Amino acid sequence: MMNGYIMQYTEKRTVLFRIYAPLYRNGCTAHFGMSAPFDRNLHPENLTEKQQNRIAMIAGNNKRLYRAYQMKEMLRLLLKIKDTDEAEGALKRWLWWASHSRIPAFKELYLKIKRHREHILNAIRLGMSNARIEATNNKIKLIVRKAYGFRNIQNMLDMVYLVCSNLRVPLPNRKPRCA
């Protein structure tokens, strides 16, 4: 649960939605040309020249939105730092910036990160993440949702074991694939 405390996808999406939603309601999407504000490829190192120009336009026209983008990027980069002392200093700077922000979503995130600061630093120190556990949980939840019509619980459990393991079940009348 280390990195899960920081920016769960839904939390990140909520923060960004609260910031981007007024733009969409006012019809600014066509002006900025940003069709997917939650796109994972909007990191500065992945931006095309056209996208960089749009970010520059946002920086000039909407200071609050640009500040939120900068804070999100600073937090994202902070989690990639390998040195614990450097990460601790960067986290301290980010917490100060978030605490002085006038964006309510970042104030809430500030309180959560402040509360779990040691866990975050431990995750950076150990280089561990809960991503695999979260992925397996998601698979199981999807299976349970699909298993709504199963007659008994054992069938659902068998489906969980089958999907979450690396078993290859040969189907009749099918040729096995060469790996």
Going by pLDDT thresholds of 50, 70 and 90, the confidence category of residue 115 is very high
pTM of the predicted model as reported, rounded to 2 decimal places: 0.57
Distance CA 43, CA 134 (A): 23
Residue 97 is predicted with a pLDDT of 93
Q: Extract the tokens encoding 83.
A: 């040195």
Residue 22 is predicted with a pLDDT of 52
User: Is 80 exceeded by the pLDDT of residue 33?
Assistant: no
State the angle between helix axes of 104-115 and 9-25 in degrees (0 to 180), rounded to the nearest 10: 170
Amino acid identity of 121?
A: L
User: Is 60 exceeded by the pLDDT of residue 129?
Assistant: yes
Contacts for 56 with CB less than 8 Å, ≥ 6 apart: none
Mean pLDDT of the chain: 78
Distance CA 15, CA 124 (A): 23
Residue showing tokens 């079940």: 169
Which has more pLDDT, 37 or 155?
155
Distance of CA 137 to the CA centre of its chain: 16
Burial of 4 (0-12, 13-18, 19+ CB in 10 A): middle
User: Is 80 exceeded by the pLDDT of residue 120?
Assistant: yes
User: Is 60 exceeded by the pLDDT of residue 149?
Assistant: yes
- Which of these, 81, 85, 55, 80, lies nearest to 68 by C-alpha position? 55
Q: Which residues of 123-135 are buried (b: 16+ CB within 10 A; e: fewer)?
A: bbeeeeeeeeeee
**Across residues 88-113, what is the average pLDDT?**
92
Tell me the per-residue pLDDT of 62-93, one tens digit each, with 9 for 90 and over.
Answer: 888 899 889 999 998 998 899 999 999 999 99
User: Is 50 exceeded by the pLDDT of residue 24?
Assistant: no
Which residue ranges make up each domain of the chain? 3-126, 131-164
CA distances from residue 117 to 6, 65, 70, 94 in whole angstroms, order as listed: 9, 26, 20, 12
